[in-house]
Amino acid sequence: MPIREHLAASSLAALLLVAASSGGLAKDTGLVFVSNERTNNLIIIDPKANTVVKDLKTSRRPRDMHFNADHTKLYVACGDDDVIDVIDVAKLEVVGKLSTGASPETFGIDESRRRIYVSNEEGSSLSIIDIDQNIIVQEVPTGAEPEGVLVSENKPFRLCDVRGWRSCPPR
**Which domains does the chain possess?**
3-141 (2.130.10.10)
- Cα torsion 18, 23, 26, 28 to 10°: value is 120
Residues 75-104: b if buried by 16+ CB within 10 A, e if exposed: bbbbbebbbbbbbebeebebeebbebbebb
Predicted confidence (pLDDT) at residue 66 exceeds the cutoff of 60: yes
Q: Which pTM was predicted? A: 0.77
Predicted confidence (pLDDT) at residue 69 exceeds the cutoff of 80: yes
Residue-level pLDDT at 153: 74
Name the residue type at position 29: T
- What does the pLDDT average to over 60-72? 95
